[in-house]
Amino acid sequence: MRKLSFIIGAVIFAVFLPTFADMYLIHVASSIMIFMCLALSWDMMLRTGQLSFGTAGFFGLGAYAAIIAVDDFSVSPVMSIFIGAIFAALIALGLGVAVLRLREMYFAITTLALTSVFMVLARNLSNLTGGAAGKILFHAIFDGDPKKIYWLILSFAIVVIALSEVFERTRIKYAISSIRNDELVAKSCGINIFKYLLFVFIITSAIQGAAGAIYAQQYAFVEPESTFSSNFLLLPVAMALVGGIYSTPGPIVGAIVLGFASEYLKLLMPYGHLIIYGIIIILTIIFLRKGVYGTILDKVRSK
C-alpha cells in the first residue's frame, strides 16, 4: 500500500513539475527521462543474459526515421515517433534472426558493430540522410514548447516503465530469467529461447528507436556523429549499473542520481566535474555491487 502511494505521489509530482519548475529543470528532467528509458531498455535485454551494445545504434535509427518521415514525407512529428519505433523494431527483427544466434561477448561486439554500420550508412546515403552534415527540421516538435515536450517524454517514460514491469510481473520474467541462468535447463522446460530473445530484442530496440525519435524531434536535427554517439550507450549502461541491474527501479534510480549529479556537479565545479562524476560511477560500481537501489533494498530487508 505504501509502495502504491509512493508511485502515485511520484507520478503526480512528475506530471505537475512543469507548473512550478523553471525551464532549466524541465529541460534537465526531460533529458534524464530519455536516458532513463534507454537504461531501462538496456536492462530489459540484459535480463535475458544478453549484453547488448546496440543501444546507440537503434536510438540513431529511430532518430533518422523520424526526421526523414517529417521532412520527406510530411508525417506529423508525433506520428514520426511511432515510425521511429516501428523502423527500429523492424530492423531488429531482421537482424535479430542472425545476431541472436550469438552469445555473450560475440553478441555484444556484434551489436556494437551494428552501431558503426548504421552510422556509416547514415553518412553515405546522402540523398536520404543528408550525409555527413545531417538533416534539420525548421521547427521542433510542439514548436519547441518545453512543457509539452516534457509531458510527451514523461508519457513515453511511463509506457517504458510499465513495459519493464510487464517483463517483471508476467511469465516473461520466468522465461527470460531461466534463459539467463541456464539455457539448457530453459530449453528442457519447453521455453522457446530464440522466440523470447527475439521478442525482447524487438521491444527494447523499439523503445530505443522511439527515444531517438523523440530526441531528434525535440532538437529538430540528426547528424551522424551526434545521433549515433556512444553517449547513448555508455551513459544508460552506467545509469543501470549505478542504480542496480535486473529490475525496474534500479535504472530509474541510476538515471535520476547520475542525471542530476552530472548536471549540478558542473555548476559547483565548472572545471573537473567530469572527473568527479567518473569517480562517483567507479566507486558506486565497486562498492555497491547491487547498485544504489539493490543496496537500499538489502538494507531495508535486513531490518
Partner 1 sequence: MKKLLVFLSLIFVLSAFAQKPIKIGAILPLSDITGRQAANAMKLAVKEINDAGGILGRPVELIIVDDEMKPEKGAAAVDKLATVDKVDFFVGGMSSGVHLAQIPILKKYKKITVWIGAASYKCEEAIGADADWYFHLHPWDYLQGESYAIGWKAIVERYPQVKIEKIFLAYEEGAFGTASFKSYLDEFELAKQGTGVWAGLMKDLKGAPFKSAALGGGDYRAMLLQAKQYDPDLFIWAGYDADAVPMLTQAKEIGFAPKLFVGAPPGWPADFGKNPLSHGVVLYGMWAPALKDVSPIARHFWDAYIKEFNEEPATYFAPLGYTNIYFLVEAIKKAGTLEDKAIIKALREIEYESPVGGILKISPSRIIKNQGFRAQKILQWQNGTQHVIWPFEYATAQLIYPFPGWSGR
Footprint of partner 1 on this chain (CB under 8 A)?
22-24, 26-28, 31, 34, 123-124, 130-136, 138-140, 144, 146, 215, 218-221, 223-226, 229, 231, 263, 266-267, 270-271, 273-274
* Structural contact between residues 36 and 157, judged by C-beta atoms closer than 8 angstroms: yes
DSSP string for residues in 195-262: HHHHHHHHHHHHHHHHHHHHHHHHHTEE-HHHHT-THHHHHHHHHHHHH-SSSSHHHHHHHHHHHHHH
| Least spacing, CB of residue 136 vs partner 1, in Å | 5
Instruction: Name which of 129 and 248 has its Cβ closer to partner 1.
Output: 129
| Least spacing, CB of residue 9 vs partner 1, in Å | 26
Which one-letter DSSP state was computed for residue 289?
T
Instruction: Name which of 13 and 271 has its Cβ closer to partner 1.
Output: 271
| Least spacing, CB of residue 72 vs partner 1, in Å | 16
| Least spacing, CB of residue 24 vs partner 1, in Å | 4
Cα–Cα dist 27/210, whole Å: 18
Residue in this structure with the C-alpha cell 521455453, named with its chain if needed: 191
The widest CA-to-CA distance across the chain, in whole angstroms, is: 62
Instruction: Name which of 198 and 265 has its Cβ closer to partner 1.
Output: 265
Q: Within 125-220, where are the H helices?
A: 126-129, 146-169, 171-181, 183-188, 193-219
| Least spacing, CB of residue 18 vs partner 1, in Å | 12
| Least spacing, CB of residue 81 vs partner 1, in Å | 17
Instruction: Name which of 177 and 229 has its Cβ closer to partner 1.
Output: 229
Distances (CA, A) of 138 to 58, 159, 213, 220, 266: 24, 29, 16, 7, 31
Instruction: Name which of 96 and 134 has its Cβ closer to partner 1.
Output: 134
Cα-Cα end-to-end distance for the chain: 19
| Least spacing, CB of residue 283 vs partner 1, in Å | 20
Instruction: Name which of 31 and 177 has its Cβ closer to partner 1.
Output: 31
Distances (CA, A) of 173 to 39, 44, 163, 168, 210: 18, 10, 12, 5, 23
Instruction: Name which of 94 and 144 has its Cβ closer to partner 1.
Output: 144
